[in-house]
Structure 1
């Protein structure tokens, strides 16, 4: 797939895209700064006293630790936002991606090798730019609040393995999509979407068995009493899993979690070892009942269908935009430009992928509260299902323990919650449980 040569006179769609992109980027940055500032002020203002609903359970010291942790992370987020916006401008309107593409065109020509090199170079450079703040988050902030268990040796091992796995999977996938873009005509986006969806479904099966064990150890759940309890719970709601596993999450962090992974008959239930240490067996059962609530209400299936629909729309949009000169010039890139006339017909497929990936979040930011709201609705439904299937009191107790142990603030800003939170705040979750006759722990 190639794009017609750039016309001498830039027509209005190019300028319109530039202005729309710049305005959306500035508006999004201001919005996110305003929301983060609200969160910082609200949490700091309520730092001095535990909310009345939690006063009998949460100590003032734990409440203040959660407030300080939230404020510190949010302030780091302000720096990440500013850096991200600057880097995005650098890649697009300031010509960074264009310069990188031109350099690789001159060095490698206009074939598949150049396109893969462009994707790889972009990923490496972006990773290096993000690295300092990522390290600061792990080895300074998480360390300061007692959550980090990561050693430098383990971090380096994870980084090397992540790079190798990413290259082993990402480069062939990228190569096939680029080939489809160039070889299957105007409907390439439909073929690429079919491949992408199939790849994601296969990955859901392959990941828990072959990829996740490269980074963590997974041991079968050995507690026979808990295993029997969990198995009976799953049988009551008709859920079949290939196994119950405990993951060594404590090697990297003190945060606790539990999740389902896999697809079809390959589904697994995974508990962090930190979760099993923090919760009683009845609380673990209640947490698992909550996760089973997502299964019972078909939330996972709904998310997969939504992912299919959104990705189809995205591929279709990319299929149209990739053939428009103004899509490239409006975002600071000259398609098919080289000092070597032999490269005048070099494909722009990798450029199109990168520009679409860079520009789309700028515009979709403003609809993200819709997805957050839907996610919170699903969490309420899963809570109600857990309260009916197991013990609502144990679920409430487990939630409070997890909020406390993970230093999650009990007093987030309501507007910030509406925009960002995929899970309801603790006060809202417990309030919703009261009509279910849940006894407050």
Structure 2
């Protein structure tokens, strides 16, 4: 039991943090629920009619399927948001993390093993809590709309693989950071930040070579005409890749995609097999040109640099907060130094990490529109580059097919878009592309 201490003042840092955290949690939840409700209402109101900009190219049945799919996901997200807020409250102010820490201290004593056990137990419990929602999304929502291709056996295999991979990758880096927190002095956070960034760069190299093949099959692109056209495009754009691969995405989902992976000489171009079935050669070239636009405008490098800067600020803030008793007590945890016996000499490093990871999203949710806006700007720049390197009409028709095949709504709520969308909505995006119809140029957008 902790030693007796005077009741905290209402103006103490601990109480202030509790009040600020609770207020931010409730405000963020209210904001996200309001945005999801707007999205549901707006999409449902526009379900009965295909927007004029897409009349003749998107069937009404496909438009209605996209609306129903969007509404189903948004309605389920209302429950997920409420549940995640309750779980977060349970871990923090209601004492869940504190109880787990005390139990492991009693069982294992203080030390590195107990700290790693705390991280692992937290991850395992959180995964079990999220499991029903994941199952519902996959085998109910995705299944209902014809996107799920997963079998229960494959799902279980993926779960086992991801758990093993998470432990194999996560435990060593967690051990290193925890060791640095205890052994590197007051500026441990700077060393930990360097280790974390080096780890992320290493992961970009090894992911396409060792991790991704653990879950999916990657075969060299065999279509000679497509390979020739894609190779010519990459040469024009000055992009060198390790190879062109086709991934068996259809084993798990009917959704289609293409992406670059890797870093430096390990870069690869990956096409989902579903994408190659849905698009013709010109459209695939246009989609790849869009991805090359991100490369040409150095969007990936800029995002990595942004990640470096934000994570440095985060580690610096954690370095300070981890030394403040009110940081723990204000979030519902009694730090080990306030406990009696062996526990009183146990390090608080794992506690500090978990509390920071739990609390930070509560506050950063309010600045997420800034990152979404930047991402949408990058997408416009990549589209413009693609239209300069390939046929803009192919890019437009490819996007139309992908919107239809992925059941992406053509009428999202404008406020929801500004807050969440990393890609511009269809009307804004296609309005900048040459489409062979007078409707597009004449249509200013959609009603709010």
| TM-score bracket for the superposition, by shorter chain length | over 0.9
In 1, the alpha carbon distance for the partners of 2:5 and 2:269 equals 57
The answer to whether the 8 A contact 1:102-1:338 is kept is no
In 2, the alpha carbon distance for the partners of 1:239 and 1:126 equals 41
Residue in 2 aligned with 1:292? 292
What's the offset of the Cα at 1:10?
A: 3.1
- Match of 2:259, SS state, is strand
In 1, the alpha carbon distance for the partners of 2:38 and 2:343 equals 51
2:151 matches 1:148: no
Q: Write the mapping of 1:250-261 to structure 2, written as runs, cut at 5 A.
A: 250-261=250-261
Residue in 1 aligned with 2:213? 213
- Match of 2:269, SS state, is strand
- Match of 1:138, SS state, is helix
Q: Write the mapping of 1:334-345 to structure 2, written as runs, cut at 5 A.
A: 334-336=334-336, 340-345=340-345
Q: TM-score, normalised by structure 1?
A: 0.97
2:5 matches 1:10: no
Q: Write the mapping of 1:171-182 to structure 2, written as runs, cut at 5 A.
A: 171-182=171-182
1:45-103 per-position Cα deviation (integer Å, ceiling 9, x unaligned): 00000001101100000000000000000001001000000000000000000000000
Residue in 2 aligned with 1:136? 136
Distance 1:115 1:358, change over 3 A: same
In 2, the alpha carbon distance for the partners of 1:153 and 1:92 equals 35
In 1, the alpha carbon distance for the partners of 2:98 and 2:290 equals 48
Residue in 1 aligned with 2:443? none
Residue in 1 aligned with 2:119? 119
Residue in 1 aligned with 2:43? 43
- Match of 1:177, SS state, is helix
Q: Write the mapping of 1:179-328 to structure 2, written as runs, cut at 5 A.
A: 179-328=179-328
In 2, the alpha carbon distance for the partners of 1:394 and 1:144 equals 31
In 2, the alpha carbon distance for the partners of 1:169 and 1:30 equals 36
In 1, the alpha carbon distance for the partners of 2:244 and 2:232 equals 13
2:200 matches 1:168: no
Residue in 1 aligned with 2:445? none
Distance 1:338 1:108, change over 3 A: farther
In 1, the alpha carbon distance for the partners of 2:171 and 2:244 equals 33
In 2, the alpha carbon distance for the partners of 1:111 and 1:300 equals 39
In 1, the alpha carbon distance for the partners of 2:421 and 2:100 equals 37
What is the total number of aligned residue pairs between the two structures? 435
Q: TM-score, normalised by structure 2?
A: 0.95
Q: Could you tell me which runs of 5 or more consecutive residues in structure 1 were left unpaired when the two chains were aligned.
A: none
- Match of 2:411, SS state, is coil
The answer to whether the 8 A contact 1:283-1:395 is kept is yes
- Match of 1:29, SS state, is helix
Superposed CA RMSD in Å reads 1.4
1:252-295 per-position Cα deviation (integer Å, ceiling 9, x unaligned): 00000000000001100000000000000000000000000000
1:345-401 per-position Cα deviation (integer Å, ceiling 9, x unaligned): 110000000000000000000000000000000000000000111010000000000
What's the offset of the Cα at 1:337?
A: 5.8
In 1, the alpha carbon distance for the partners of 2:41 and 2:4 equals 49
User: Which segment drifts farther, 419-428 or 340-349?
Assistant: 340-349
Q: Which runs of 4+ in 1 moved over 6 A?
A: none
- Match of 1:240, SS state, is coil
User: Which segment drifts farther, 341-350 or 220-229?
Assistant: 341-350
The answer to whether the 8 A contact 1:6-1:335 is kept is no
In 2, the alpha carbon distance for the partners of 1:91 and 1:38 equals 30
What's the offset of the Cα at 1:338?
A: 7.5
What's the offset of the Cα at 1:141?
A: 0.5
- Match of 1:245, SS state, is strand
Q: Could you tell me which runs of 5 or more consecutive residues in structure 2 were left unpaired when the two chains were aligned.
A: 441-448
- Match of 1:344, SS state, is helix
Distance 1:424 1:339, change over 3 A: closer
What's the offset of the Cα at 1:6?
A: 9.2
